[in-house]
Amino acid sequence: MASIHDVAKEAGVSVATVSKVINHYPDVSDKTRKKVKSAIELLRYRPNAIARGLVTGRSWTVGVLINIPFTNPYVAELLEGIKTALENSGYDLMRLSARLNDESYSFIDHCESRNLDGVVIFGVERDHRIIGELIRSDIPTMFVDTDVMGNRVGNITSDNVNGVHMAVSHLYGLGHRDIAYIAGTLGHTVAERRLQGYKQGLAHCSIEYRDKYLEVCDYSFEGGMVAMRKLLHLQSPPTAVVCTSDMAAMGAIHEIEAWGFSVPGDISVVGFDNIFEAKVFKPSLTTVNQNIHNIGARSIEHLISMIENPEYSPPEIMEPASLVIRQSTGKVKVSEDQSR
């Protein structure tokens, strides 16, 4: 098995230079870095992780805590973005579990016991006690969809407000005036931002907000079904519905069709996320694209920058949203009375 001394000899450099290349130090020329990397590949050298940690003071491991079900397709796309960003970074990923409802539990102790260099957090709301723990700690942290900042804490989110606003404007342009909204659990940052976008969209289109057209669900397929069922029971059901997630939108469509109505013939439906399933679902789903893969990748890129440079300012990033128009939205159905 090749040693670091063998790599140094093959590349014609010192052992210290090889160590700098392995540990991503910047003060090595590109020419020298290429020579060392070529020698590493030729000799199939694999640095000892423990020794590497002793040299750098790092574990070269970052943690990710995702506090929503892993069965949600959003999670798969987010993790794929994280994986992409980590591939050539030299860091490994550890999935974290956390007893968030246990008052005696310390998330900081949890991270420190695993010697993590930094963490990405998704699905933990800003009023949870571990938020304060992380802000007060020195652990580099990137939050996804939670708008908190600290000395070593940054965040990244989608433009949730404008995303739903665009969805409402799209439906208005198709002639819809009775536009309902299936929201996420209220009190959570993302849900509140998207509800804000719904209300702003209505106001922009000069449509009065009506409480009866607001239902709440848990972002799931089943939640979308239940919420849509309540809307269909109204004396005057909506002609269009914007949903807080694609899964909820698919559940809503399932319920609409179970009642004998068609999408978009009778009711138009818009989702939010643009997961892979949105384009293969029947009818294909008009939805707000929030660049999930990019959010995952950028969260890791900025986390690593914070880990490797203590002077790096934690970022506050808003990814732009866009509307992807597919088959689930169409012009409002004109009643016989209106057509006369």
Structural contact between residues 153 and 160, judged by C-beta atoms closer than 8 angstroms: no
pLDDT of residue 50: 46
Read off φ and ψ for residue 161, nearest 5 degrees: -65, -55
Alpha carbon distance 240, 264 (integer Å)? 9
Are both 142 and 14 inside the same structural domain?
no
pLDDT of residue 54: 45
Structural domain count, the chain: 3
| CB atoms closer than 10 angstroms to residue 293 | 16
Alpha carbon distance 86, 79 (integer Å)? 10
pLDDT of residue 101: 73
Is residue 282 domain-resident? yes
Alpha carbon distance 115, 109 (integer Å)? 10
Are both 67 and 141 inside the same structural domain?
yes
Structural contact between residues 264 and 328, judged by C-beta atoms closer than 8 angstroms: yes
Are both 296 and 284 inside the same structural domain?
no
* Domain of residue 257, CATH code: 3.40.50.2300
pLDDT of residue 124: 82
Listed in sequence order, the residues at least 6 apart from 132 whose beta carbon sits closer than 8 Å to its beta carbon are none
Are both 44 and 186 inside the same structural domain?
no
Are both 45 and 83 inside the same structural domain?
no
Are both 65 and 196 inside the same structural domain?
no
Is residue 338 domain-resident? no
- The CA R_g of the chain, rounded to the nearest whole Å, is 25
pLDDT of residue 104: 75
Are both 13 and 102 inside the same structural domain?
no
pLDDT of residue 176: 98
Are both 66 and 139 inside the same structural domain?
yes
pLDDT of residue 336: 44
**End-to-end distance of the chain based on CA atoms, in angstroms?**
86
Alpha carbon distance 14, 20 (integer Å)? 10
CA proximity to 300, closest of 20, 92, 161, 134: 92
Is residue 169 domain-resident? yes
Half-sphere exposure of 90 (CA within 13 A, CB side): 21
Alpha carbon distance 285, 250 (integer Å)? 8
Helical spans, DSSP H, in the chain: 4-11, 15-22, 30-43, 49-56, 73-86, 107-113, 129-136, 160-173, 189-204, 221-232, 246-258, 277-280, 292-308, 336-339
Please give the chain's pLDDT, 340 residues, in tens.
677 788 888 899 988 888 778 766 777 898 998 988 898 888 887 765 545 554 545 678 999 988 887 778 888 999 999 999 988 787 889 988 767 777 777 888 888 888 899 999 998 887 788 888 888 888 999 999 888 899 999 999 999 999 999 999 999 999 999 999 999 988 888 999 999 999 999 999 999 999 999 999 999 999 999 999 999 999 999 999 999 999 999 999 999 999 999 999 999 999 999 999 999 999 999 999 999 999 999 999 999 999 988 899 999 999 999 999 999 999 998 764 444 3
Is residue 95 domain-resident? yes
Full domain range(s) for residue 31: 4-56
Are both 186 and 279 inside the same structural domain?
yes
pTM of the model: 0.80
Are both 37 and 49 inside the same structural domain?
yes
